[in-house]
Structure 1
């Protein structure tokens, strides 16, 4: 049993206790945020804001620039999404779940490419191309940027981006030594699959004639 425990948590032996506590808190609120998103509940945003702020601090300390920018972007998009989700499209209805339009798909491609270029420039400027994880980090950053933008717009396709990004992030964060965060992304993957199914059912019900 001890070798298994050491395999998963040995990297935490030299971590400051504060970092470990903050990571656990961030993971808990991150889990709550994704769960509320699956439930199509507005609490996805306040819980997400707490999680992302903590992760920005942690990732800055470890110089994981791409991941840090993801969470800084999440924080900003959470504020934007909070506004969109509480905005009424008419006197009785709030912004509904919908499919992405052709124009929104074009915007998604633009966000993806622009993010790749932006993160590339940041890594180049700070000379951080010292590991294969930097290239994977660049890719996941672009995937998550699109997913977060689509979620703020309440587009069902956002879940597909979360699923892809979460699957890649599980081994990536484990390799980086953030085991709790790796477990978090494993749970995120499962929730994202169910979230996609739940939103799809919600969308079908909204389209059903009254």
Structure 2
């Protein structure tokens, strides 16, 4: 069983294995803080995304690497966005998407797929089946991270769909630790959605009672 899951690591540098494990751990911690609506989601996420951006570029997984560079940038934006206050209250609490944001999400998704497709074509990376799935996943995760930074509850839906697809995908690519990470991501994301839903419902009730 161990040989089946981890045989690919025989040819890996020890530093790369250590970095992948570290990135996976900080990624899990970050998602856990996101579930708790805790701003520490962003600093822990910055560590994970910077590690994965490097590793994925080394592994020539350009789409995945671009996702993590984008995560890094959006984590900085989200960190700032979540700290903004109006008086003593958080200026941007958990909320649902507006119609304008739904249109923006579609635009980001389509634009991302077009951009990644151009990059993959330029570098001649459409050489296997998972390159096409990478393109689709990049669009999903770009929208999910954008919604996370804006504290929109729908971000969890994009994460859940993307995480479920990523589990077998990363295992097929030979990155077992990352595949396991996405399995745990999926579970945490489901609970994250439920927890944010409770917080949102509670705030809506308090708003009605005012």
Instruction: Give the TM-score, by structure 2 length.
Output: 0.97
Q: Find out whether 1:92 has 2:109 as its counterpart.
A: no
| Secondary structure of residue in 1 paired with 2:70 | helix
CA distance, structure 2, for counterparts of residue 177 and residue 75 of structure 1: 24
Shift, 1:20, TM fit: 0.1
Of the candidates 118, 123, 128, which is equivalent to residue 121 of structure 1? 118
Shift, 1:115, TM fit: 0.3
Query: What's 2:187 paired with?
Result: 190
| Secondary structure of residue in 1 paired with 2:134 | helix
Give runs of aligned pairs for residues 17-36 of structure 1, distance below 5 A. Answer: 17-36=14-33
| Secondary structure of residue in 2 paired with 1:186 | helix
Query: What's 1:54 paired with?
Result: 51
Structure 2 unpaired stretches of 5+:
none
Give runs of aligned pairs for residues 56-75 of structure 1, distance below 5 A. Answer: 56-75=53-72
Query: What's 1:207 paired with?
Result: 204
CA distance, structure 1, for counterparts of residue 30 and residue 122 of structure 2: 33
Of the candidates 145, 148, 159, which is equivalent to residue 148 of structure 1? 145
Alignment root-mean-square deviation, CA: 0.5
CA distance, structure 2, for counterparts of residue 158 and residue 61 of structure 1: 29
Shift, 1:44, TM fit: 0.1
CA deviations 1:47-84 (Å, max 9, x no partner) are 00000000011001010000000000000000000000
CA distance, structure 2, for counterparts of residue 129 and residue 204 of structure 1: 44
Large movers: runs of 4+ above 4 Å: none
Shift, 1:40, TM fit: 0.3
Shift, 1:194, TM fit: 0.2
Q: Find out whether 1:173 has 2:170 as its counterpart.
A: yes
Q: Find out whether 1:110 has 2:107 as its counterpart.
A: yes
Q: Find out whether 1:132 has 2:129 as its counterpart.
A: yes
CA deviations 1:11-47 (Å, max 9, x no partner) are 0011000000000000000000000000000000000
Shift, 1:92, TM fit: 1.3
CA distance, structure 1, for counterparts of residue 31 and residue 22 of structure 2: 14
